[in-house]
Chains A and B, each alone.
Chain A
Amino acid sequence: MKLKSESYVYIALMIIMLLTIIQTLMMTSFVTESLPLIVSSIGFVLASAGLWRGVVAQKKGQVVKRRTEGEEERRTGSWKGYLAHSGWVVGYVAGIYFLGFLVATFIFTLTYMKHLGSRWTTTIVSAILAPVFIWAAFELGLKVTMWRGVVFGWLGY
């Protein structure tokens, strides 16, 4: 029987709770370990209950209703879209880390807005205005030194 994707979330939670329990048991102070131990133990029991309930419901569901191929395709499509857009967010954060806020924001706005179907004029104007706004509002206005990026750090800026 192939498990539902939700069941994998419960399995992941069970593993996290188990690791937390092991780690709390390794702590030396009872005061420090007691509450995390109780909470993670309850979490482990609840995650196990969720997994068990999901598996039982799936067994019943397989008899009553099988998911059609169309439904499966829609779900997979939605997941693909979700992961693709999450990838853009990860890319932006990686850009911030390596290139700093101003450069990463320019590149992210330009590429992501175009990818989402914006017009060229809107995209270019936004890509220029977004870093300018960040610089003016945060560096000049709020006196926050924005992250310059590790690449510029290596280059000595």
Chain B
Amino acid sequence: MIFDAWVQALASFGDPYLWLFIVIGIAIGLISGIVPAVSGLTACALLLPFTFKMSIWESLPLMVAILATSSAGGAITAILLNVPGNAANAPTTIDGFRMTQNGEGARALGASLTSSAVASIFSAVVSLAIIPIILPLVMAIRSADMVFVIVLGLSFVAVLARGSMLKGFLSGIIGLLISFIGYHAVTGMGRFTYGIGYLYEGIRLVPVALGLFAVPEMIQLATEGGSISKREAVFKGLRQVWLGLKDSFRHWHIVLRGSIIGFIVGIAPGIGPSVAGWVSYAQAKQTSRHPERFGTGTVEGVIAPESANSASEAGDLLTTLALGIPGSGAMALVLGAIIMAGIVPGPDMMTKHLDMSIALMLVIIVSIFLACLLCLLLASQMARLAFIPGSVLVPLVLIAVFVGAYATDGQIEDVILTLVLSAVGCIMAKFGFNRPALFLGFLLGAHFERYLFISLQVSGPLFFMRPISLTLIFINLLLFVFSPAKRWFQRRKEAQVA
């Protein structure tokens, strides 16, 4: 079975359309990484309406290529302009921009991109190697277990994400309640529809994604004045790039440690690449023979966060594909594209669509390799994208949001719903509520209810008396004990970095 899937996955790379979507994904990923207000998450949210017209072999590689490359793009502006393209690139600015000020910007960029590429490839290869090991476990999962897999996923996102745990849970609950709107799958009765015909089919995914993730970012950018960067990018000397490339291999242990940290953080749902970067930076500083050099422009301070944030993507994708639990908001959108394609998230991607899962890991390897090559050649020109004024970016992205919301189904109600959910997204962003948790609750709510109903019908009220379910309940309980300890650990690490 695995051999056949590998053959099919490799054969899919003979399709020129797959390559076309990978190249488009790399371009969008790099641009979204470089332009500070637009993250890979925003780019994927904007693309979601168009995935309706695509096959799953086009939409998923496109989104994965975007997510795999956006942090590489973000490193360019973090190093050359002191403006992190993504939140994940924030730790890179500490030493990266200092190196640019010291006249070593090209070296920092060479080191950052090489370590990103090596870490991503390492993480994707480990994920591919793990698939045969986790496959029997995934195949043993039944409906009863899926109930607790979903609960665990929501708990992870609510508990481990930055910000208040209470707000995380409340966000997840709001998402679940939104998913209950419309016909009940079993009884056929309408819930919370208030006689509005549009609501009977339930809330659609695209307005939720666009409203929650795209509009609040643009309003924030417009409120802040819309200026992105005023510095001029300084990038000279291909010899320095070569030096940076050699630095990555000279400090291979930092790249390896960063890759492992990134992969583990990526696998654990709800933490995300930005935490991986900070943990790796703090760890590199702690174990360095010269910790005093961190913050003054040392290349280790660039390699550590970049290797970790890049490695986290493959780990995150593995959990999303195997269990249907995304580790970040961006992966939640990938999950959304999987659901829109009619695939039940979770074990299906490791059984019926294993070839696709393997191909997506290979897409990560190919796209990060090509992206880093492109960045090394065109870094200076690409950094100019950071100068796109907010006054141009904000109106055009807002237009794309509402046009995209309408174009999916051709219903004006979708546009109005996007507006309503934008208001919800803005309030949540302003008060520090957890938007990915809401989105995940919304995505998995219907599946949660269906699995719960099937389990109760088949096994009765004690449906959870199965080894996997009990283990998942135990992990869930452990999470509540672990969470305060983790928060204390995180505060300590951040204090050390500062």
A→B interface (CB under 8 Å): 5-6, 9, 13, 20, 23-24, 27-29, 31-32, 35-36, 39-40, 42-43, 46-47, 49-50, 53, 78, 81-82, 85-86, 88-90, 92-93, 96-97, 101, 105, 108-109, 112-113, 116-118, 122, 126, 130, 134, 138, 142, 144-147
Q: Which residues of A contact B191 (CB under 8 A)?
A: 24, 27, 32, 36
Report Cα–Cα, A42/B177, bound state, in Å. 11
Q: List 22 A-B contacts (CB under 8 A).
A: A31-B453, A35-B452, A46-B169, A50-B170, A81-B223, A82-B426, A90-B419, A92-B402, A93-B415, A93-B419, A101-B402, A109-B395, A116-B390, A117-B226, A118-B392, A122-B392, A126-B392, A130-B396, A130-B399, A134-B399, A144-B410, A147-B415
- Min C-beta distance of A6 to chain B, whole Å: 5
B115 CB, nearest partner CB in chain A, Å:
37
Chain A's closest residue to B174 (CB) is: A43
Chain B, 23-58, contact with A by CB distance < 8 Å: what is the 0/1 string? 000000000000000000000000000000100000
Which residues of the partner chain A approach B167 to less than 8 Å between Cβ atoms?
50
Query: At the interface, yes or no: B431 with Cβ under 8 Å from chain A?
Result: yes
Partner of B391 from the list A86, A90, A116 (CB cut-off 8 Å) is A116
Check if B92 is an interface residue, CB within 8 A of chain A.
Answer: no
Asked whether A9 lies within 8 Å of B173 as measured between CB atoms, the reply is no
Q: Which of B189, B398, B407, B453 contacts A144 (CB 8 A)?
A: B407
Contact B170 A13 (CB under 8 A): yes
Q: How far apart sit A78 and B426, CA to CA, in the bound complex (Å)?
A: 13
Residues 371-418 (chain B) with a chain A CB within 8 angstroms: 389-392, 394-396, 398-399, 402-403, 406-407, 410, 412, 415-416, 418
Residues of A within 8 A of B422 (CB): 86, 89
B177 touches A85 (CB 8 A): no
A108 to B402, CA, bound (A): 12
Assembly CA distance A78 to B430 (angstroms): 10
CB distance from A97 to the nearest CB of B (A): 7
Question: What is the CA–CA distance of A146 and B422 in the complex, to the nearest angstrom?
Answer: 21
Q: Closest Cβ of chain A: how far from B229's Cβ, in Å?
A: 16
- Residues of chain B within 8 A (CB-CB) of A142 are 53, 407
* CB closest chain-A residue, reference B403: A134
Complex: chain B residue closest to A131, CB-CB: B399
CB distance from A42 to the nearest CB of B (A): 6
Q: Is B340 an interface residue (CB 8 A)?
A: no
Segment at the interface with A among B179-187, B292-300, B317-325: B179-187
B420 to chain A, nearest CB (A): 10
Does any Cβ of A come within 8 Å of B176's Cβ? yes
**Is the pair A43, B53 in contact by a Cβ cutoff of 8 Å?**
no
Cβ–Cβ contact B187 & A46, under 8 A: no
Which of B222, B389, B416 contacts A118 (CB under 8 A)?
B389
Q: Are B391's CB and A113's CB within 8 A?
A: yes
Q: How far, in angstroms, from A95 to B42 measured CA to CA in the complex? A: 24
Q: Given contact pairs A46-B169, A46-B173, A126-B396, enumerate 12 new A-B contacts (beta carbons under 8 Å).
A: A29-B187, A35-B180, A39-B173, A43-B177, A50-B166, A78-B223, A85-B219, A86-B423, A89-B398, A96-B402, A97-B416, A109-B399
- Name the distance in Å between B456's Cβ and chain A's nearest Cβ: 9
B427 within 8 A of A: yes
Q: Which residues of B contact A53 (CB under 8 A)?
A: 166
B449 at the interface (CB under 8 A from A): yes
Cβ–Cβ contact A89 & B392, under 8 A: no
Q: Please tell me which one of the listed residues A32, A49, A89 contacts residue B215 in the complex, with CB atoms under 8 A apart.
A: A89
Residues on A with C-beta less than 8 A from B184 are 29, 31-32
B399 A31 Cβ-Cβ under 8 A: no
Among A6, A20, A108, which residue has its beta carbon within 8 angstroms of that of B431? A6
What separation, in Å, do the CA atoms of A13 and B389 have in the docked complex?
Answer: 37
Q: Does B489 contact A (CB under 8 A)?
A: no
Nearest Cβ on chain B to A25's Cβ, whole angstroms: 13
CA of A35 to CA of B176, assembled, Å:
10
Minimal Cβ-Cβ distance residue in A for B411: A147
B3 to chain A, nearest CB (A): 39
B408 → chain A, closest Cβ, in Å?
9
Cβ B430 vs Cβ A82 within 8 A: yes
Q: Decide if B252 is an interface residue (CB 8 Å cutoff).
A: no
A-facing mask of B161-178, CB < 8 A → 1, else 0? 000101101100110110
Does B480 interact with chain A (Cβ within 8 Å)?
Answer: no
Inter-chain contacts of A50 with B (CB < 8 A): 164, 166-167, 170
Q: What chain B residues lie within 8 Å of A126 (beta carbons)?
A: 392, 395-396
A138 touches B389 (CB 8 A): no
Assess whether A138 is in contact with B407, with CB atoms less than 8 Å apart. yes
Give every chain B residue within 8 A of A86 (Cβ-Cβ).
219, 422-423, 426
Bound-state CA distance A93–B177 (Å) is 25
Q: Contact between B176 and A39 (Cβ–Cβ < 8 Å)? A: yes
A134 to B402 CA separation, bound complex (whole angstroms): 11
Residue among B170, B192, B453 with the highest chain A CB neighbour number at 10 A: B170
Contact B412 A97 (CB under 8 A): yes
A29 near B407 with CB under 8 A, answer no
Provide the bound-state CA to CA distance between A122 and B251, in Å: 47
Closest chain A residue to B412 by CB distance?
A147
Nearest-Cβ distance from residue A151 to partner chain B, whole angstroms: 13
Across the interface, name the chain A residue whose C-beta is closest to B186: A31
In chain B, what residue has the closest Cβ to A130?
B399
